[in-house]
Amino acid sequence: MKALIIVDVQNDFLIKGSLEVPCGNDVIEPINHIIKNYSLVVATKDWHPSDHVSFASNHPGKKVGDVVKVDNLDQILWPDHCVQKSKGSDFPATLNAKTIKKIIFKGTNSQIDSYSGFHDNGKIHSTGLSDYLKVKNITSVDYVGLVTEYCIKFTVLDSIEEGFKTRVILNGIKGINLPESNKALNDMQSKGVELL
């Protein structure tokens, strides 16, 4: 059984969002087009409390793009984004979200970031995504969404580790930085991710 996972397609990553991905809106139409091919569609949402450790605003004297150590993990500092229940955390109105059966929330613990939809960056807590898919007898998972070199990359690498046949649909993803995105795609491919 096959599932589609839509990663972090939320207003803050789209045009005029606080963490706008260049041309991020271009993923919406391809996603709306393929969504009907899947009997199971799951979405992840970046879902941060306002005191989240990844926000530069919570580190006096630091700015967006700085890197700090949090419990021995490198933490990139971002603008405030995807604050729980904010407009920025919503799906865009143009996304055909009607068939999304399950939403997996990540980055909910203020003390640790979570780029992967499967677990936090320290691999301490799981989000429940893997168990959810396994209970539904899913063996093969296709991924679309944002951002190629962060949440897409970490989610699909965990997907491989969790034993799913893992594919990324290239016209359904976008990155912030082109060289970094291309490097991320090479990493994914070398770990067994199929790029479509």
Active site residues: 8, 106, 151
Q: Rounded to 5 degrees, what angle do the CA atoms 46, 51, 55 make? A: 65
150, interface contact from Zn ion, ligand VGL, none, CB < 5-8 Å by kind: ligand VGL
Q: Report the partner that residue 80 touches, choosing among ligand VGL, Zn ion, none (CB closer than 5 to 8 A by kind).
A: none
> 3-class SS at 183?
helix
Q: Which is nearer to ligand VGL, 108 or 136 (CB)?
A: 108
Q: Any idea what DSSP says for residue 26?
A: G
CB of 13 to ligand VGL, least distance (A): 6
Select the residue whose beta carbon is closest to ligand VGL and give its number.
151
Q: Where on the chain is the footprint of ligand VGL (CB under 6 A)? A: 8, 46, 78, 115, 146-147, 150-151
Beta carbons within 10 angstroms of residue 190's beta carbon: 8
* Rounded to 5°, angle at Cα 94 from 89 and 96: 95
The interface partner of residue 8, options being ligand VGL, Zn ion, none and the CB cut-off 5 to 8 Å by kind, is ligand VGL
Name 139's Cβ contacts closer than 8 Å, sequence gap at least 6. Answer: 1, 2, 164, 165
CB of 43 to Zn ion, least distance (A): 15
Shortest spacing between CB 80 and ligand VGL, in angstroms: 11
Looking at this protein, which amino acid is placed at residue 189? Q
